Structure 1
Amino acid sequence: MELYLGPPRTFAQPESETLGDNDEEFVKVRRYDVKLSAGPGRSGDNSAPLSPVAFRTAWMTAAGLIADKCCVLGVQGDSMLPTLSDGDLVLVDERKTTLRDRSVYAFVDVTGDARIKRLERLDDQLLIRSDNPDHAIEIRKPAEANLIRLIGKVVWSGHSWR
């Protein structure tokens, strides 16, 4: 039992916040059990579907996003610090597979590893950059660069506070 020696307490009832009375207020985006490597690389074979993630329809529309053309994936590693942390979730627009220099992309590297990095074309090479200065820039020569498959551009991230 708690001992309290102050004036009488009153407790305000919090206003209830609903998630929407209809299905049109939120859209569900597919989520997969993929851990995009923010490091040297990790196999993308663990792509089992997980429960979808809900986003406000108005936000998605304003951002020009289409729910069934996006997916939510996890981040693993420290090479994208401070932008992305181990355990974060990212929303990937799968329509955005044309490289825009220095944007963050989810991609499948030549080794088959699912990764997340800043990508930049330099002449006929591809630079793979980490935000964490402790990680070196990687270079893919033309033959290798053409084998990289962009999953899509990262358009949102959710940080995990542990």
Structure 2
Amino acid sequence: MSQRALASALGVSQGFIGDIESGRSAPSRNFLQALSEHFRVNPAWILEGREPQIFEDGPGFSSDVGRIAPPQKGKPLAGHLTIDGQDFSLITRHKAHVSAGKGLAAVDGLEKDGLAFSNSWLLKAGLVADLSALVRVRGDSMSPAIPDGATVLVDLRGITAEQPGVYICILDDDVFVKRVHQLRDDKTVVGHVLVSDNPQYPPVVVSGRDNYRLRIVGKVVLAMHTV
């Protein structure tokens, strides 16, 4: 593009463009903004030589992991963001801790942040991001499967223990992560057994009139921890 055409597009004089190109003048903020808005030129590339030279069309930005952009809202099962065209959804990570030991208070803070999971993985796992949560585990009663400090992904739809598995449950005012087994009399659920993986912790039986003390919050489907 000629200096005259560029000057006309940006609303500046041809001499101003010439001064910038020759190094006699530095580009002003307004000039850089106009250049970016009209031609999607990256001001950081002009000033410091940082890539990209040209911004891609549409909202979003480029990063080391690819182009991060808002979701396509008209697309079925759209997530919270896309990375190189692949949908990801955020699952909230809460400050609340669950106990793999003697039990902790149900909540000790507000929502903390979130982690992104690909929608394709969530679909294969049968999970819905908005009906899932991430919480931290304290204690060693579920070690080694879930060590102290691990973060677990919880399916909040798993509020019954029809199938044996690891569940987040509330007993009285304490929150636990345990393997839960139903006790049945024919087809009627008469109680539950809370079992720890660590043999140092004995099973806890909740049955009969005490059943009201127990509430299943969700099923643990993934444990994440450092090695």
TM-score range normalised by the length of the shorter chain: 0.7 to 0.9
Structure 2 residues without counterparts, runs of 5 or longer: 1-62, 70-80, 185-189
Q: CA deviation at 1:160?
A: 2.6
The answer on whether the counterparts of 2:191 and 2:206 sit within 8 Å (CA) in structure 1 is yes
Which of 122, 126, 130 is matched with 1:60 structurally?
122
- Which residue identity lines up with residue 224 of structure 2 in the other structure? G
Structure 1 residues without counterparts, runs of 5 or longer: 1-15
What count of residue pairs does the alignment treat as equivalent?
145
Identity value in percent: 31
Q: CA deviation at 1:114?
A: 1.1
The answer on whether the counterparts of 1:107 and 1:150 sit within 8 Å (CA) in structure 2 is yes
Calculate the TM-score normalised by the size of structure 2. 0.60
Match for residue 76 of structure 1? 138
Between the aligned partners of 1:67 and 1:47, the Cα distance in structure 2 is 21
Between the aligned partners of 2:105 and 2:220, the Cα distance in structure 1 is 19
For residues 48-96 of structure 1, what are the alpha-carbon distances to aligned partners after superposition, in whole Å with 9 as ceiling and x for unaligned? Answer: 1101111111101111111000000010000001110111000100011
Q: CA deviation at 1:17?
A: 4.9
Question: CA 1:57/1:38 → structure 2, altered by over 3 Å: closer, same or farther?
Answer: same
For residues 12-70 of structure 1, what are the alpha-carbon distances to aligned partners after superposition, in whole Å with 9 as ceiling and x for unaligned? Answer: xxxx8516533132110011111110011111131411011111111011111110000
Between the aligned partners of 2:156 and 2:170, the Cα distance in structure 1 is 13
- Residue 136 of structure 1 aligns to a residue whose secondary structure is coil
Specify the structure having the higher radius of gyration (Cα): 2
> Is 2:191 the partner of 1:125?
yes
For residues 107-135 of structure 1, what are the alpha-carbon distances to aligned partners after superposition, in whole Å with 9 as ceiling and x for unaligned? Answer: 1112x111100011123121110011111
Alignment RMSD: 1.7
Match for residue 38 of structure 2? none
Query: Quick check: which one's helix share is greater?
Result: 2
Calculate the TM-score normalised by the size of structure 1. 0.82
